[in-house]
Structures are given as structure tokens and as C-alpha cells.
Structure 1
Amino acid sequence: MNRSNVSASFDVVHVILDVFFQGAALLVTCLIWGDLVQTDQWKSILSMFFVFVLIYIVTNRAANIYNNTLFFYTDRVVKRESVSFFFAFLSGFLTYEFNLQSSIDYRFFIRFLMISYMIIALETLFFLKIIDRIINRKHIPRCIYVGSKDSYNKFRYFLGKTPLTLNEIGYVSFKDDDESLEYIGCIRDLEQIIRKYNIDQVFIMQKREMDIEFIQQYIDLCIKMGVTCRVIVDIYRRRKAFSYNSSIGTYPIMTYHTVCMNTWQAALKRVFDIVFSIVGIVVTSPIMILTAIAIKLDSPGPVIFKQVRVGKNGRHFKIWKFRSMYRDAEARKAELQALNEVGDGMMFKIKDDPRITRVGKFIRKTSIDELPQFFNVLSGSMSFVGTRPPTLDEVEKYTTEQWRRISIKPGITGMWQSSGRSTITDFKQVVGLDVDYIDNWTPFMDIKILFRTVSELFKLNGSY
């Protein structure tokens, strides 16, 4: 028997149904509008269909559509499958166009897409649940839940939001003190309960105050009897973190995290950074050359200002900027601390800072001073969009909650920079914007922030 758990939550039936229904969509389109296709175009039609279905399934898998333990909120599934449909449509269209040797008639392709999406919607809303029950009606696992009545009700609510089909026999308590209808006994009688009700699966709620050895004896009992035991871990009460289950070897792992853990999204962000940093360097190189000459003529000192900043999770790196201050600017910072506009001292910001040179005022106002940070992005120490890179002395003052804002790579721009930064001097508000970005990050959010940043630049709000 295969002991691998790699696909334990993978819904193979859903994949098969997707292929079947997309085949049905193509068949319906061919029967009704097949006269739109020339004889020499059928090979291209089949190539298009193969690519369309392949990309649709792969994208659905990446979006966890085929994970049968996820919440089955219909709007969430429709949204994710619509994104998969878009990528499949784009791939199919390119295949359709590049493979055709004769004149292209897009009417067939458009009609196929309409039928396909309509069937996807019907499959999501109706067919999956119905077909799953037809296939599994004689083999629905009989399960019991071990825990309190309140947690049992909450668990049933969540269970009802997933495509899992289970026959809930009732719940078992840790203490024999319940007289409700669903109550079928105490955990000390678990073996007799399993025998009496022909149980296939046991769900045990593990609270953080429970002794591991107490739970382990009942896990061992289930294993000895060949009954599947699922331990529900309820040891983390706060809801700021996301979580997922995995395993390393034979060890189950419960992961809590507040940053994006999707590898493909991180890779997409890095590719975006590399491509656009190279484009940015090439496009702005004439501006950077002229700026370097102006800085050199305006005041003595190096053209590039290098400063140690704090990056992801406290890592140090050197940020590159065009020098906009006199050489003794860092030495004079302490004497100007009383003029700091950020009341709590968590950042340093002064309007009409006397340390700024004449050229420095212009390049700060236009954010030209930040152009060398394209090289920071290219090297990987920064990202195009992220949180503001703090200085060492700022991070030393961070509280436990404020440290979270450096749990991702810093960026040239971000929520704070694109939200009217010259008017935001409350550091708690800055942290709030950064945390909001970390919690809700998507590739589309980065694009939105970039557009907003460009808008702010046209307002000439300046940089810090």
C-alpha cells in the first residue's frame, strides 16, 4: 500500500471533471459552430484545447482549487477559477493564432470560451457537490469529534464550508457532563464508541492546556484499531497569523506566518524587480549622469551617498542614493534632533533641513536622489515595492510589534510613500500602512502602488 501523503488532500475527481466538462464545451461548440472551422484548422483547434486545459488545471492547482480541505466559499472559488480561466484563455489564444496557417476566424474561439466559462460556473455552483455525493454515497466516512460542544459546533460550521463529505455521528467530550442530542459518550470510552458506531475517522481537538501524553494515548488507540485519527491543533488563539499544515519526513508541521509563503509569487516579484530595475537603470542613466555632474559641481564630497540600512528581518545592507546633503550631515544630526517633526523620534524628518545642498533640494523634491536604488533592487537587497528601509538607530527603538514591518524586503516605494508621505508624521500610522501591505500583498497591489507613486511624484512631494 502506498503510504505517501503528498496527495492526501488532492481532489482527483475535481480534475477529472474539469477535463471532462471542458471536453464537453469543445464538443458542443463543434456541433453548433463547426462550420466556422476549415479542414486544415482542426489540428490548431486541438492544440489550442490541449494548452487551454493544461494551463487551466495547473493554475487551479497553484491556487489550491483542488485542495479539498480548503473553505468552499463560492465567491472565493469563482474568483480563483476566473483567474485560471484568464491565463488559460491567453495561452490558448496564442496557441490558436500561432498554429493557424490559413485565415483566422475568431468566432469559433470566442464561442468556445463562452461555453467553457458557463460550464465552469455551473460546475462550481452545482455539479461538484452533486457528483461527489453520487460517487461517495456508499463510502462516506463515519466520523466522531472529541472536544467541547462549542468547539464541535464551530468545527461543523467550518467543515460545512469545505467540499469534504463526512457522516458526522456525534461528539465525544473529555468529561462525562453533557446531555445534548449529539453527545455519544466520554473519551475514556473511545474504544467502545468506535466499535458501537463503526467509526472510520476520529477528530480530536487539542487545546493548548492539554497534556500531550493524555492525547497521545487515544491517538495510539486509533492507530491500533486501524481508525484514522485527525488532531485539530487549537494552541494559537490570536488571528493575526495565517497557518498551513505540512510535513518534514514523518514529522507533521504546523506553520504560522504573517508574510506571503507562496514560492511562485515570491519568484514573480523577484523577476519583476530584476526586469524593471534593468529598465529603470537604462532609461534613467542620462538623468543619473547629469545629476552626478551637478552634485560634483555644487559641493565637495562623493556623488553617491552610502548608508547602512536595515533590511528583511534585521539584515544590514548599504543603500545607495545620490548625495543630497553636505558631507557633515550625519555628524550634525544629533544637534538637530530637537527639530524632528516625528514626535516619538522613531523617524528623523525636518522640513527645510539645513544640511541639504542646493542641488539636493531639487533631487529630493523630484525623488531623483533615489534612482541609484535601482542597483539595490537589482542586487536583491531591496525590492521595487516594500516598506521604507529604516536606519540602525530607528530599529533599536522598535517595539516587538514594530519589528514586524521589517519582516519583508524594504522597497523604493510602498504604502507610506504612495499615500502622501509628506503629510504622515505619526510613526504608528506608518507602521499601520506597512503592516497592511504585508498582510494583503498581491502582485496587483504592487502595480497599484507603483501607479500611485508616480502620481505622488507629479505632485512633487519629495523624498526622505
Structure 2
Amino acid sequence: MNRSNVTASFDVVHPILDIIVQMFALLTTGRLMGHLVQQNEWKSILTMFFVFVMIFVISNRAANIYNNTLFFYKDRIIRRQSMSFMVAAFCCGLVYLYCLDRSVSGKFLMFFMVNSYILLLLEIVIFRNMIDRIINRKHVPRCVYIGSKDSYNKFRYFLNKTPLMVNEIGYISFDDDNDSLEYIGSVSHLPELIRKYNIDHVYLLQKREMDIKRIQQIIDTCIQMGITCRVVVDIYRRRKAFSYNSSIGTYPIMTYHTVSMNTQEAALKRIFDIFFAIVGIVLTSPLMIITAIAIKLDSPGPAIFKQVRVGKNGRHFKIWKFRSMYVDAEERKAELEELNEVKDGMMFKIKDDPRITRVGKFIRRTSIDELPQFFNVLSGSMSFVGTRPPTIDEVEKYTNDQWRRISIKPGITGMWQTNGRSTVTDFSEVVGMDVDYIDNWTPLMDIKIMFKTVLEILKLKGSY
């Protein structure tokens, strides 16, 4: 990001306020519970307090709490700051257990945490907006909006939900509009209007069909007169996409995306995958050995079946499963196409598939055939929870909308596996469930799907 604007959206007031509140919490705790602490223990307590506050503020910054261009309802602020508080408290607990003298009073620390959290809630609910208005009331910029009346009303609605404080003078239209009370003139008279109303900021509400040269002229006029100009980009209006602003050097970047995970969440999901893949391999290794022996005794061929599947955004990888079919299954697939139970042939499913071996029927019904995919998860080609990994020939039939279901890593289990599994024969329903997962992903959703998967396996339903 360009050095001159790297902190343009950073709110200095609120991190300072958070630090002051935590200091007040420590002081009041010391006042009320100081008799529990020996004189030589205060150095350890102050060390822990420093760690707690530092991690709390950094976590809030990562959660965009200190970004003054984003708007959050109070419940969202409470939720995000509570998460930061828990992270800081957890790290503080690790310091207490492994780095400091355990003689420090645990009761004192617990009282501090409770006191700190109560004061944090009071800060958010009562003092946050009050202090904003006290500090900023003498420095509120006078601003005008350039755009249509509808754009003006919509943008003003969102702006009023942000911490930003502006003195709204009115709006300037691209054409004359004398019917509105807020209307103060046409953009053709912008220099005169800036002089007349002592304008500090101009918000240009871009129309999607607006000529880029016209936008440049308005910006040039503002820059020439030393006025801050903010361009509100309106070039895309589909509601399926998330968006965020950034910059590379002096170039502003507007990013649209559909995958809800950010970098930190993707890292958390990967850690989750590695941990549970290792646990899964360790716990099921005896079962996998027995299964491999049973497959070899039941029919000729390898115990492990490898097949090229399609992963994230079309990447190919080899999926590993226990072989549940005879070795000539792929060659016989063509002659069974007319028996496919999935509409449009977008997936291949037959209830009593003649290619499945005796052991294969059992391991499919109990999902034991999926166990080698723990190694796919460990290697990074798959995730524990995701979308069903399709075959190459299936993906070749995808429409643009259906391609979206492979915009994340495929998973051992997912929404389809826990909501009917093989009984769902309409591929559009499968895509709908996968897209719903992609749009609404949270770590909690992954945990819920894993529990539901275990229940579905125990029921022995929908698997063939």
C-alpha cells in the first residue's frame, strides 16, 4: 500500500480508548483485590497485563474493529471484540501456566478478566459513540455528494452507520434537479459551489455507465482546489459477491470474490484439517489394515483405488479410496450409463451397481472406503469438510454456475453427504447445497457438519 495512505482508514481513538479501559480495569481490580497479591508478584502481573492488552489490540485490528470506513452494528462489535478478548485471555493463560511464577494469585487474575470484560461491554454500549462525538465535533468536515438522488439517499444511509462523522451540506446532481430540498446545484458549477459552501470533502457517487473522463475531470477539479475527493465505486451490483478495497503502490484495487474465507480463516481451516487428519489416521489405522486384507481376499486387484479427481478451481489430484469395485469397473461404466439415477448425468450413481464387490458393499455402506482420504487431507489436496470432488468427465459438463462449486477445496464430507447423500438425485440440489456452504462458511459450520456426518454413518442411510 502507498505509504501516504496506509493509515488513512485507521481509527486512532478506539485503540487508545481500549487501552485506557483495560488500565482502569487493572487499577480497580488492584484496589478491590490487591490484598491477594504479594509485593514481589506485581512485576509478573504487569507482564501478563502487557501481553493481554497487546494481543487484544492486535486481534481487534485484524478483525477491522479499528477501521473507520467499515460499519458494524453493536452486536457485531461485541461479538468481534469478545473473540479478541478470548484470544488475549487464552494467551495470557499460557503465559501464566508456562512462563511465570505460579504463585501469582489466580483469583486476582480471574477477577481482573471478569472486571475487564464488563468494562469492555460498557465501553461499547455507552461510551464509544459518546467519545467519538466529543472528540470529533470540532473537526467534522463539510461535505457534498455528487450523484443521483437515489444514490445519495442510499449512500447516506450506509454512511450514517459508520463511525465517520460528516457535516452534510447537500448533493450536487449531474443534471439540474430543483425539486429536492438537499439539492444545491449542478456539477457544471462545482468550483463555485465549493467556494460558496466552504466544502472540505466531495463524495462522487459513480454511475456504472459514467464516462471515465468525466470522473477524472471532477477529481481534477477537487485536487486543483485542495479538496478531498472520495469516489464511491458502483460498477457491479450482484449480491452474491463479497468485495473489499486495497491498493498496490498507488493503484487502488477493488476485489470481488465469492469464497467467504479470509487468509486467517483459511489458515485456521488448514490447521483443523491437519490435526484431525493425523488423529483420524492414528485411530483408524488398525481398521484400515483389516479392510485392506479383506479387499485382497475378496477379489483380485489392489486394495487402494486411485482416481484423478478435480479439486479447487479445476486443479487435478489423485483421490485415494479403498477399492470397492472390480478392477474393470471404469471400462464397464459406459454400458451402465442408461441406469444412472442422477438427472442430466452430472454425477454417476446406481443403487445396485453390479461392479461393486461383496466387501465393497459393506465398506461403502459404512463409509470405510473413504478412510484413505485422510492422507489426501494431510497432503493438502482435500479438506475435511468441503464439496464432493467430481470426476474429470463430470466437470466437462459443468455450466458457469456449476463451476462455482469447485471454487474451494473438495472435502471428505460436506452439505451433500449430510443432507440425503445418494438419495439426492437432482444435481442442481447438490450445487445449491455446495454454494450455500461456500457462501456461509464458518468454523462452527465445519464442526456441525462433522457431527452430522458421524450420525449419518451410524444410521447407514443414503450410502451406496
272-281 or 358-367, larger mean C-alpha shift: 272-281
Is 1:259–2:259 an aligned residue pair?
yes
Please give the alpha-carbon distance, in whole angstroms, between the structure 2 residues aligned to 1:196 and 1:22. Answer: 46
Match for residue 452 of structure 1? 452
Q: What CA deviation, in whole Å up to 9, does each residue of 1:350-384 have, x standing for no partner? A: 11211100111111111111111112112211111
Please give the alpha-carbon distance, in whole angstroms, between the structure 1 residues aligned to 2:425 and 2:22. Answer: 55
Is 1:211–2:238 an aligned residue pair?
no
Tell me, what secondary structure is at the counterpart of 2:384? strand
What displacement does 1:282 show? 2.4
44-53 or 242-251, larger mean C-alpha shift: 44-53
What displacement does 1:100 show? 5.1
Match for residue 437 of structure 1? 437
Please give the alpha-carbon distance, in whole angstroms, between the structure 2 residues aligned to 1:75 and 1:39. Answer: 40
Q: What CA deviation, in whole Å up to 9, does each residue of 1:174-201 have, x standing for no partner? A: 0012331111111111111111111111
Please give the alpha-carbon distance, in whole angstroms, between the structure 2 residues aligned to 1:364 and 1:102. Answer: 53
283-292 or 61-70, larger mean C-alpha shift: 283-292
Instruction: Say if 1:188 and 1:263 are closer, same or farther in 2 by CA, change over 3 A.
Output: same
Check whether the contact 1:171–1:184 (CA below 8 A) recurs between aligned residues.
Answer: yes
Tell me, what secondary structure is at the counterpart of 1:247? strand
Please give the alpha-carbon distance, in whole angstroms, between the structure 2 residues aligned to 1:181 and 1:216. Answer: 28
Please give the alpha-carbon distance, in whole angstroms, between the structure 2 residues aligned to 1:39 and 1:267. Answer: 42
Is 1:368–2:376 an aligned residue pair?
no
Please give the alpha-carbon distance, in whole angstroms, between the structure 1 residues aligned to 2:18 and 2:422. Answer: 51
Match for residue 304 of structure 2? 304
Please give the alpha-carbon distance, in whole angstroms, between the structure 1 residues aligned to 2:98 and 2:40. Answer: 14
Please give the alpha-carbon distance, in whole angstroms, between the structure 2 residues aligned to 1:42 and 1:295. Answer: 65
Letter in 2 for 1:287: L
Please give the alpha-carbon distance, in whole angstroms, between the structure 2 residues aligned to 1:131 and 1:273. Answer: 44
Match for residue 242 of structure 1? 242
Check whether the contact 1:45–1:96 (CA below 8 A) recurs between aligned residues.
Answer: no
Structure 1 ranges of 4+ moved more than 4 A: none
After superposition, where does 1:21-420 map in structure 2 within 5 Å?
21-99=21-99, 101=101, 103=103, 105-420=105-420
What displacement does 1:38 show? 2.4
Please give the alpha-carbon distance, in whole angstroms, between the structure 2 residues aligned to 1:58 and 1:39. Answer: 30
What displacement does 1:327 show? 1.1
Check whether the contact 1:140–1:167 (CA below 8 A) recurs between aligned residues.
Answer: yes
Check whether the contact 2:261–2:441 (CA below 8 A) recurs between aligned residues.
Answer: no
Please give the alpha-carbon distance, in whole angstroms, between the structure 2 residues aligned to 1:145 and 1:432. Answer: 40
Instruction: Say if 1:3 and 1:191 are closer, same or farther in 2 by CA, change over 3 A.
Output: farther
Check whether the contact 1:97–1:104 (CA below 8 A) recurs between aligned residues.
Answer: no
Tell me, what secondary structure is at the counterpart of 2:344? coil
What displacement does 1:220 show? 0.9
Please give the alpha-carbon distance, in whole angstroms, between the structure 1 residues aligned to 2:84 and 2:446. Answer: 20
335-344 or 227-236, larger mean C-alpha shift: 335-344
Check whether the contact 1:367–1:462 (CA below 8 A) recurs between aligned residues.
Answer: no
Tell me the C-alpha RMSD between the 2 structures: 1.6
Please give the alpha-carbon distance, in whole angstroms, between the structure 2 residues aligned to 1:58 and 1:412. Answer: 35
Letter in 1 for 2:252: P
What displacement does 1:3 show? 5.0
What displacement does 1:30 show? 0.8
Please give the alpha-carbon distance, in whole angstroms, between the structure 1 residues aligned to 2:293 and 2:132. Answer: 71
Check whether the contact 1:41–1:100 (CA below 8 A) recurs between aligned residues.
Answer: no
Check whether the contact 2:177–2:183 (CA below 8 A) recurs between aligned residues.
Answer: no
Please give the alpha-carbon distance, in whole angstroms, between the structure 1 residues aligned to 2:7 and 2:443. Answer: 28
Q: What CA deviation, in whole Å up to 9, does each residue of 1:23-73 have, x standing for no partner? A: 001111111121122223222221221121112111111111111111131
Check whether the contact 2:349–2:422 (CA below 8 A) recurs between aligned residues.
Answer: no
Letter in 1 for 2:196: K
Tell me, what secondary structure is at the counterpart of 2:4? coil
Count of residues in correspondence between the two structures = 463
Q: Which runs of 5+ in 1 are unaligned?
A: none
Tell me, what secondary structure is at the counterpart of 1:207? coil
Tell me, what secondary structure is at the counterpart of 2:345? coil
Tell me, what secondary structure is at the counterpart of 2:343? coil
What displacement does 1:422 show? 3.4
Please give the alpha-carbon distance, in whole angstroms, between the structure 2 residues aligned to 1:373 and 1:39. Answer: 57
Letter in 2 for 1:243: S
Percentage of identical aligned residues = 74
Q: What CA deviation, in whole Å up to 9, does each residue of 1:274-331 have, x standing for no partner? A: 2222222222222222111111111111221111111111111111111100011111
Q: What CA deviation, in whole Å up to 9, does each residue of 1:74-95 have, x standing for no partner? A: 1111111111111122222232
Tell me, what secondary structure is at the counterpart of 2:66? coil
Tell me, what secondary structure is at the counterpart of 1:139? coil
Check whether the contact 2:142–2:166 (CA below 8 A) recurs between aligned residues.
Answer: yes
TM-score (norm 2): 0.96
TM-score (norm 1): 0.96
Q: What CA deviation, in whole Å up to 9, does each residue of 1:381-412 have, x standing for no partner? A: 11111100011121122111111000001011
Please give the alpha-carbon distance, in whole angstroms, between the structure 2 residues aligned to 1:286 and 1:182. Answer: 75
